Amino acid sequence: MLPVAVQVASLASLWVAWQGNLGVAANSRGGARSGVGDMGQAKVGYDVDVGAGLGLQLRESRFNLGLGYGPNFTVRDVNGRDRALLVMHGGSLNLGFGGRGYALGLSQSLSLGTTSFRGLRNTPVDPMAMPNPTMPRVDLVPTVETAKVFNASTNASFNYQWDARLTSGAGAGYSISGGSGSSQTAFPQVRTATGSLSTGYLMSGRDSFGVQAALARITTKGGTTMTAPMGPLVMSPDFLYWTLNSGLNWSHRFSAATNGTLNGGAFGYSTTSPGHTTLYSLALTAAGTIDTQLAHVAGFTINGGAGAGVSPAVNQLNGTMQQRVQGTGRLSATMARFSINASADGAQSFPTGDPNAIRLLGVGAGLGYSPAQFVDFSADYRSTWQTAGTTSIPRLWVVFVGVGVRAPPLRF
């Protein structure tokens, strides 16, 4: 009996070393959006979303584990003849291990199902990550209203703290994003393998400096492209890109409530399509951000932020690599249980005369109210104007109201 008792005692001590919590949440929203009727005329569509999330967090002195799963159900055109049910599933796994001066991380996320682009809502890969309306959403909208999608991402990281000021890191990852099956015709699938190295140095309590380099292999499959201005749309060829991005970054704390960043570097890439010679290109990259607290008086807080950058990026509709400038601005205010926010973002690719040039402008606003600790009400509005080649979507809009509830976390 003694060996059994020792084993039980060992298991009990191991369980005591672990701590964690289990959380459950649910949300629902109803909204109206712009749409197109059978004869091409403008119409208003009404949708209802219902979602849920389940998350588990475990941790001990050096190790932590996170698991999450969340399905989302959307009933489109609830009052029309074309009523349809869209289902999305998402899951995530996060592992972390830390020791004296170092930290290891591994994450896996997955989402698949059918999504609605006309709702201007991209389902987050992490089901426990609630959409933040103040964040920029510079995403192209394909010509289809719904599509089957498959997104998966695997990432590993290692960070080492050399001393109080110097930190280095390495990372590797592989991701798949975009359409699945027949939906790849309008929404190409992009596969990306990356490896990166970085080093950061804390120069003072206000300034930090860093250098980073990243190598990536990107392949695209599907999408449609235009070979000449006003020409017909044809199937886009499959592309293979090798990219090497290196640069410097600087962060500065202007005050206790204001922070800014600047970074710049070079972006070199090769482009290969079937039957064509590989082309090599070099572009400069630059970006800057600023976040600040504009006011804080008697529980009333106003925060603002802005950012802009220029860098090559893969076009989400045809898979081509384009030089793109994009920017965003956001403003939020909170007081007790109320919150309000507004945002604007845009993007433009170069050269502007390219048959596949894109232009996008989006604006949004939202209200939030939390009458209790685990209950949230929200109302949001989003509108976009988009041009991709000669295909123009003059204006898309969506407005919705929602409610979210969370169970008190179960801690153990």
CA trace torsion 161, 165, 171, 175 (10° rounding):
130
pLDDT for the residue numbered 39? 60
The total domain count for the chain is: 1
pLDDT for the residue numbered 97? 96
Regarding beta strands 258-272 and 19-36, do their DSSP bridges make them parallel or antiparallel, or are they unpaired?
A: unpaired
Two tokens at 1? Answer: 């009996």
Neighbours of 396 (CB within 10 A): 19
What CATH number is associated with residue 257? Answer: 2.40.160
pLDDT band at residue 122 under the 50/70/90 scheme: very low
First-last CA distance in the chain: 29
pLDDT for the residue numbered 14? 46
Q: 30, exposed or middle or buried, with CB in 10 Å at 0-12, 13-18, 19+?
A: middle
| Residue in this structure with the two tokens 């950012």, named with its chain if needed | 307
Two tokens at 336? Answer: 């007790």
pLDDT band at residue 94 under the 50/70/90 scheme: very high
Containing H/E element for 12? helix 2-17
3-state SS, residue 6: helix
Contact yes or no for 67/90 (Cβ under 8 A):
no
Fill in the amino acid letter for 351: P
In a domain, 309, yes or no: yes
CA-wise closest residue to 95 among 109, 81, 114: 109
Cα-based angle 65, 66, 72 (whole degrees, multiple of 5): 165
Two tokens at 369? Answer: 């109210």
Contact yes or no for 146/120 (Cβ under 8 A):
no
3-state SS, residue 186: coil
pLDDT for the residue numbered 131? 41
pLDDT band at residue 138 under the 50/70/90 scheme: low
In a domain, 378, yes or no: yes
Asked if residue 85 has pLDDT above 50, the reply is yes
pLDDT band at residue 128 under the 50/70/90 scheme: very low
Neighbours of 88 (CB within 10 A): 21
Its domain, for residue 110, covers: 32-411
Two tokens at 340? Answer: 């309000």
pLDDT for the residue numbered 229? 64
In a domain, 13, yes or no: no
What is the spatial distance between Cα 326 and Cα 348, in angstroms, rounded to a whole number?
Answer: 6
Contact yes or no for 314/218 (Cβ under 8 A):
yes
In a domain, 15, yes or no: no
pLDDT in tens, 181-200: 888 988 899 999 999 999 99
**CA–CA distance from 406 to each of 26, 340, 354, 380 (Å)?**
6, 21, 49, 20
Higher-confidence residue: 144 or 50? 50
In a domain, 17, yes or no: no
In a domain, 102, yes or no: yes
pLDDT band at residue 373 under the 50/70/90 scheme: confident
pLDDT in tens, 302-335: 999 999 999 999 988 888 999 999 998 999 999 9
